[in-house]
Amino acid sequence: MVGDAILARTILALDTPNLGQACEWVQQYRERVYAFKIGGALAMGHGLPIVRMLREAGATRVFLDLKFHDIPHAVALAVRQAAEFGVWMLTLHCGGGSAMLQAARAAVADLPSPPLLVGVTVLTSMDADALREVGVPRTPRAQVLRLARLAHAAGLDGVIASPWEARMLRRRLPPPFLIVTPGVRPAGYDAGDQKRVATPEQALQWGADYLVMGRALLQPKA
């Protein structure tokens, strides 16, 4: 069971291709969670106008999690387009490098209410072996710190990182720089395809600003 205090700092992941189901979840949780996240399943099936549809259902903040990773010009165009639909927050892969991150920042710099730009560091499904497989010789902890510093220097608003790195990041990158943590599971829940996980209480204690949860809330443990 997840308490209201934790839900108030939770971004609920709408991990479904079904628009009707997503709107039902928004209506069910709109008074309880802080924001709602949409990823590829909804965006690919319904396009960015889904942001407006979810707002009509009661989602005041929509987090677009498409993890943009391309040449700087292409990412700048995508970020600007997402901003035009009024997303509250969106993700970019820090692995795209400084030029890409800076181009994204510049693309929305003239807007009165630009979206929060957060950089994905190391996916929570990856461990040291997975990093070595793609040619990264560092531990997840070291790689997360390296990429978070890159994001900070490029002017991003925060990063996506697992709870395991939240305490380290908070010591080195104080507020208002944001730490958003997926890989959050209430005690007793199966980790699924995640590797670096923690409970909501641990993630907040270690320095997370927002938690991302989906299956743990929408598919309660029997």
Q: Please report the beta strands in the chain, taking only residues with DSSP state E, as ranges in sequence order.
A: 10-13, 35-38, 62-68, 89-93, 116-120, 158-160, 178-181, 210-213
- 4-218 falls under which CATH superfamily? Aldolase class I (3.20.20.70)
Q: The tokens of 163 are what? A: 């709870």
Q: What's the rounded Cα separation, in Å, for the pair 168 and 164?
A: 8
> Tell me, what's the pLDDT at 195?
77
Q: pLDDT class for 192, splitting at 50, 70, 90? A: low
114 DSSP assignment = P
Amino acid at 55: R
pLDDT (tens digit per residue) in 165-187? 999 999 999 999 999 999 898 88
H-helix or E-strand spanning residue 150: helix 140-153
| Residue (of 20, 69, 75) closest to 42 by Cα position | 20
Q: Is 213 helix (H, G, I), strand (E, B) or coil?
A: strand
Q: What's the rounded Cα separation, in Å, for the pair 191 and 45?
A: 27
Q: Burial code of 36-65, b = ≥16 C-beta within 10 A, e = fewer?
A: bbbbeebbeebebebbebbbebebebbbbb
Q: What's the rounded Cα separation, in Å, for the pair 110 and 98?
A: 20
Q: What's the rounded Cα separation, in Å, for the pair 152 and 169?
A: 11
Q: What's the rounded Cα separation, in Å, for the pair 95 and 70?
A: 10
- Judged against a pLDDT cut of 70, whether residue 34 lies above it is answered with yes
In this prediction, residues 2-31 reach a mean pLDDT of 96
Which is more confidently placed, 197 or 207? Answer: 207
Q: Yes or no: say if 156 and 129 are a contact pair by the CB < 8 Å rule.
A: no
The catalytic residue positions are 67
> Percent of the chain scored above 70 by pLDDT?
96
In this prediction, residues 115-128 reach a mean pLDDT of 96
Mean pLDDT of all residues in the chain? 95
> Tell me, what's the pLDDT at 170?
97
> Tell me, what's the pLDDT at 194?
74
- Judged against a pLDDT cut of 90, whether residue 215 lies above it is answered with no
Q: CA torsion sign, 181 to 182 to 186 to 188?
A: negative
In this prediction, residues 137-152 reach a mean pLDDT of 98
Domain coordinates in residue numbering, the chain? 4-218
Q: Yes or no: say if 211 and 6 are a contact pair by the CB < 8 Å rule.
A: yes
- Judged against a pLDDT cut of 80, whether residue 189 lies above it is answered with no
In this prediction, residues 192-203 reach a mean pLDDT of 86
What does pTM read for this prediction?
A: 0.95
Q: What share of the chain is helix, strand, coil (3-state, %, to 5)?
A: 45, 15, 40
- Judged against a pLDDT cut of 70, whether residue 191 lies above it is answered with no
- Judged against a pLDDT cut of 60, whether residue 117 lies above it is answered with yes
In this prediction, residues 27-36 reach a mean pLDDT of 97
In this prediction, residues 47-65 reach a mean pLDDT of 96
